[in-house]
Chain A
Amino acid sequence: MAANPMSQFDVYRIGPEIKVGAFDISFTNASLFMILSTLSILLIFNLGSKKNSVLPNKIQLLAELSYTFVSKMISDTAGSKAKPYFAFIFSLFMFVLFCNMFGMIPYTFTVTSHIIVTFVLASFIFIGVTVIGFIKHGFGYLKLFVPSGVPAVLLPLIVVIEIISYLSRPISLSVRLFANMMAGHTMMKVFGGFVISLGIVGGWLPLSFSVALTGLEILVAFLQAYVFAILTCIYLNDALNLHH
């Protein structure tokens, strides 16, 4: 298992096989880490919101700083109209961040390194944003595909490009997160394998690489969660405030 850098992404069943109709919804290691992530989020934020002291303790400070961080991010990118979606974007950011960070612990499973997970999240965002756009602007939302100030000759081409770029949003959003997670973890595994195979004599160089990569990957874990959330905000901004 340790030799294959891709085996860390294997999903396997924990406990018995559970089937609903034709669908297999067995409890897997992926489910375990989803539950761990959500439980730690709920635990931290529950502890952080329990007491309301004027001078916050560490966990309250953590919860309030995260709250203001996400709330500032939303108001900066999507304006005040995006306030009703704050809870969703907050949950999204925290979920992706915690899944990424749990993946940084050795021998854990990274939920966000699976394309299906990120794709479900991204398509939910895509569908949600599109529905919000049509509810807010009716068919006027289609003006999103017709940028102003474009010469009439170029317009058909531009509209096609805009539609393709709009439709590829869920793919780019999901693949960005998934590919970053997978590549980073694979690279760490490969360098870890080098440490073992080169032994005590030559293993120091890949070991130092591994240490540096761990730092980089923690940064990437945060950054990708941030990018995921901020792109959601930008898409939401398109739907709420039609700029074109």
Chain B
Amino acid sequence: MVKKIYFQSIFFSFFFNKEAFAAESGGMPQLNPEFWISQIFWLILTFGVMYLVLSKLILPKISNNLESRKSQILENIEAAEKQREDSDTKLKEYEEIISKSKLEANSIFNQTREKVLKDISAKRDVLDKQIDDEIAEAEKEINTLRKNAPDKINKIAIETSSELLQKLIGTEVNKSSISAIVDDLSKRNGDKYYGN
């Protein structure tokens, strides 16, 4: 019901509008030539002035602005590219320096190591020689000591045995016979005592 009234009222109002439109004027105001000349005049005047101002003053400025921005951006890009290239070459140089110094350090290290090794070996040789000399001397001393040792021992043995004999039997025994016995013993048993 409400719907029906609604659409009816739409229809009637359109009817009203049409009535009013038909009653008020005889059609489109656009076709009334009363102000045609005035509209043409004002159109040419306003459009002409606008065209002149736009084409002579404003549009060149805008195009200038756009161009200058474009060139500025291009310049900036160029500068940035150049700086990047610069930094690339710098980086390369830096890397070269680093690798070169690494090599140098390596060679210095190797050289010093060699030198130190040489030094050490030379010193060791000297020391070895000294030690060998000392050992040889000591051995010589030992040998002389060892050579002299049986004589001294024989002497002690002769003296001790003669004194012993004297105390035991009360008479002096011929020293030469005792020494002969001791010599004989020492010759026989020397190996056992002295390790020769």
| B contact residues, range | 35 or more
Interface: B117 (CB within 8 A): no
B20 near A3 (CB under 8 angstroms)? yes
Interface: A115 (CB within 8 A): yes
| Contacting residue for B30 out of A63, A114, A193, A205, CB 8 A | A114
B41 near A23 (CB under 8 angstroms)? yes
A111 contacts across to B, CB distance below 8 A: 43
Q: Known contacts A64-B66, A182-B30, A202-B9; is A25 also within 8 Å of B51 by CB?
A: no
Interface residues of A (CB under 8 A from B): 3-7, 9-11, 13, 23-28, 30-31, 34-35, 37-38, 41-42, 45-46, 48-50, 52, 54, 60, 63-64, 67-68, 86-88, 90-91, 94-95, 111, 113-117, 120-121, 178, 182, 190, 193-194, 197-198, 201-202, 205-206
Interface: B17 (CB within 8 A): yes
Q: Give the complex CA separation of A114 and B13 in angstroms.
A: 27
Task: List 24 contacting pairs A-B, 8 Å CB cutoff, sorted by A.
Answer: A4-B25, A9-B30, A11-B35, A25-B37, A26-B35, A28-B35, A30-B38, A31-B42, A31-B46, A34-B42, A41-B50, A45-B58, A49-B65, A52-B68, A63-B62, A64-B62, A64-B65, A111-B43, A117-B39, A190-B14, A194-B13, A205-B6, A205-B10, A206-B10
Interface residues of B (CB under 8 A from A): 5-6, 9-10, 13-14, 16-17, 20-21, 24-25, 27-32, 34-44, 46-47, 49-51, 53-55, 57-59, 61-66, 68-69, 72-73
B16 near A117 (CB under 8 angstroms)? no
Q: Nearest chain-A residue to B27 (Cβ)? A: A6
Q: How many A-B residue pairs have CB under 8 A?
A: 166
Secondary structure at the A interface, as helix, strand, loop or mixed, is helix
Q: Known contacts A38-B47, A52-B69; is A193 also within 8 Å of B13 by CB?
A: yes
Q: Give the complex CA separation of A45 and B59 in angstroms.
A: 8
Q: Distance (Å) between the CB of A99 and the closest chain B CB?
A: 10
A63 contacts across to B, CB distance below 8 A: 62
A115 near B58 (CB under 8 angstroms)? no
A194 contacts across to B, CB distance below 8 A: 10, 13-14
Q: Distance (Å) between the CB of A45 and the closest chain B CB?
A: 5
Q: Distance (Å) between the CB of B196 and the closest chain A CB?
A: 112
B38 near A121 (CB under 8 angstroms)? no
B39 near A46 (CB under 8 angstroms)? no
Q: Known contacts A67-B63, A91-B47, A198-B13; is A42 also within 8 Å of B54 by CB?
A: yes
A46 contacts across to B, CB distance below 8 A: 57-58
A86 near B40 (CB under 8 angstroms)? no
B58 near A30 (CB under 8 angstroms)? no
B54 near A45 (CB under 8 angstroms)? yes
Q: Nearest chain-A residue to B56 (Cβ)? A: A87
A42 near B39 (CB under 8 angstroms)? no
B43 near A4 (CB under 8 angstroms)? no
